[in-house]
């Protein structure tokens, strides 16, 4: 199953056996620093979920680290994923409301895509963040392995689902690193 991922760049090589097939879409940037691993963590969760459902993952990864503004970077990524006809896209970025981004997201959804977005890690008192809070976007918060909402996880009327927000992955030195959010 084809799934889009808008996040930081995946490290070269990644974990092909875990991730399945990975295709880079849009511009790939040379970050000033090595990717911190958030993109790899989200890609691994997506790929494992698809494999558990009996699907072969094909991840179309768009890099948010090109030094553009967030609106430009997400718009460029959505355009590239639309051109690839990727049906479902996950975005791991949050920002305040922006009318340009609202129009970009509405156009993307109108073309038949599903957009799944994280609600953010600013806690239960935070205002809704976007693109998760735009109409038609599937907003997802984070829970632990026991199904409890993480203390830092966003909440609100717009939240449609909760997904595992704690994952352990090998770090560059081979030790396990825990990701939350």
Distance CA 44, CA 23 (A): 14
Residue 78 has what pLDDT?
93
Please state, in angstroms and rounded to a whole number, the distance separating the CA atoms of residues 61 and 38: 12
User: For residue 138, what are the β-bridge partners?
Assistant: 116
pLDDT in single tens digits along all 181 residues of the chain: 899 999 887 766 555 556 778 888 877 665 555 566 777 788 888 888 888 888 888 889 888 876 556 788 888 899 999 999 999 999 988 989 999 999 999 999 999 999 999 999 999 999 999 999 999 999 999 999 899 999 999 999 999 999 888 878 766 566 788 877 7
Peptide bond into 133 cis (omega under 30): no
* Dist. CA 34–CA 28, nearest whole Å: 13
- For residue 142, the model assigns a pLDDT of 92
Residue pointed to by tokens 């790929």:
47
Q: What is the pLDDT of residue 177?
A: 81
Q: CB–CB of 58/2 below 8 Å?
A: yes
Using a cut of 0.75, tell me whether the model's pTM lies above it: yes
Strands 176-180 and 159-164: unpaired
Quick check: helix, strand or coil at residue 95?
A: strand
Alpha helices by DSSP H, listed for the chain, are 16-19, 38-52, 70-83, 99-110
The pLDDT of residue 30:
56
Angle CA 77–80–84, to nearest 5 = 135
Tokens coding 45: 């969760």
Find, among 74, 79, 28, the residue nearest to 12 by Cα.
Answer: 28
């Amino acid at each position: 199953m084809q799934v889009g991922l808008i996040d930081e760049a995946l490290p070269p090589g990644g974990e092909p056996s875990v991730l399945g097939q990975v295709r880079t879409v849009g511009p790939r940037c040379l970050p000033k620093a090595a990717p911190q691993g958030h993109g790899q963590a989200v890609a691994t969760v997506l790929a494992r979920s698809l494999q558990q459902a009996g699907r072969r993952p094909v991840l179309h990864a768009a890099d948010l680290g090109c030094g553009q503004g967030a609106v430009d970077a997400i718009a460029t990524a959505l355009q590239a994923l639309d051109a690839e006809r990727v049906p479902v896209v996950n975005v791991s970025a949050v920002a305040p409301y922006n009318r340009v981004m609202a129009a970009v997201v509405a156009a993307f959804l109108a073309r038949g895509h599903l957009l799944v977005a994280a609600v953010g890690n600013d806690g239960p008192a935070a205002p809704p963040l976007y693109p998760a809070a735009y109409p038609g976007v599937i907003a997802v918060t984070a829970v632990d392995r026991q199904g409890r909402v993480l203390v830092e996880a966003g909440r609100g009327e717009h939240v449609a689902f909760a997904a595992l927000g704690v994952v352990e992955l090998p770090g560059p030195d081979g030790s396990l690193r825990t990701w939350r959010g």
